[in-house]
Structure 1
């Protein structure tokens, strides 16, 4: 008779213990998840190839920007508004480009010469065509030298093809540049830095009315 009374009680006690264990496990799991959520989040920011950790809003106050500083939210860095920015002047041309620039000045004293010119500064998309589609094909391309007349109208582009121009991707970009310039009616001359034509040959081309390309001037 006693066993008949205790059996149901043991069954109820077993379920109570089971429910209590489940509740404890659930509480521990929720605490762990909350701890991870309140930690730091990692953002992959391309800065010298490193992975930079950006503090979350729950970080201590000592990790927040100091008073009086500004934060560029797009690039996630802080700077002092009254201090100079970390830039220095650099050379516009390489030693080889300087040598060729001076040769062009000597050979073409009646012309203007510009160096390192963006392609979009001397050609533009014709009206009636998709501007962004065609502009994106030449965007970020540049020309080593541009020859202009006294009215500052572009006459020809000059590219110095060193060994880097043998790379397949570079050759593809050069082909696009050639086609864009010729489509705009501009001549493009390509020279190797150690096979420059003489001053007389360069002057003959730009001063001749026929504008026939001498065989040793370039392709």
Structure 2
């Protein structure tokens, strides 16, 4: 009789664990795959605020995909910019791009050639690109975008 009680308790524990896994397991596995993250870094947040101060009548967009800005009929060319993202894009009231803004933190050190290639793609498409290593003043931003 004692052995049957242990077996029933064991089976009950397994059944309870299976039930919990069935009900909550899908949620547990999903939560391990996807996690929220900040859209922009604290350094980029400061730039976003400064851009909005400098251009209150324009639209400032953050983290814009290159594929929203440029395209090509050639698949190999599209592959060069497929997963690239700009830091900021400034749009006028008619939703035309005034400038693309890149903010280079220390992680860009040693990537100058890669940054130059990114800028060249955007320039070829007809965009003005302004690249900064520090948060510029409102005056500097207005001068850079106007010129």
In the superposition, the TM-score normalised over structure 2's length comes to 0.74
Q: 1:201 aligns with which of 135, 140, 143?
A: 140
Larger radius of gyration: 1
Q: Which has the higher contact order (CA 8 A, sep 6+)?
A: 2
Query: Is the helix fraction higher in 1 or 2?
Result: 2
The residue aligned with 2:83 is 140
Q: Does 1:180 align with 2:127?
A: no
Q: 2:49 aligns with which of 84, 89, 102?
A: 102
TM-superposed CA distance for 1:182, in Å, is: 0.4
The residue aligned with 1:153 is 96
Structure 1, unmatched stretches of 5+, are: 1-65, 70-78, 213-219
TM-superposed CA distance for 1:205, in Å, is: 4.1
Runs (4 or more) in structure 1 with deviation over 2 Å come to: 170-173, 203-206
The residue aligned with 2:5 is none
Q: C-alpha distance in 2, partners of 1:89/1:114?
A: 20
Matched position secondary structure for 2:86 = strand
Root-mean-square deviation (Å): 2.2
Following superposition of structure 1 onto structure 2, how do residues 32-181 of structure 1 map, counting pairs within 5 Å? 80=26, 83=27, 85-86=30-31, 87-125=34-72, 130-167=73-110, 170-181=111-122
Aligned length: 124
Q: C-alpha distance in 2, partners of 1:119/1:190?
A: 16
In the superposition, the TM-score normalised over structure 1's length comes to 0.51
Q: C-alpha distance in 1, partners of 2:116/2:144?
A: 23
Structure 2, unmatched stretches of 5+, are: 1-17
TM-superposed CA distance for 1:204, in Å, is: 3.7
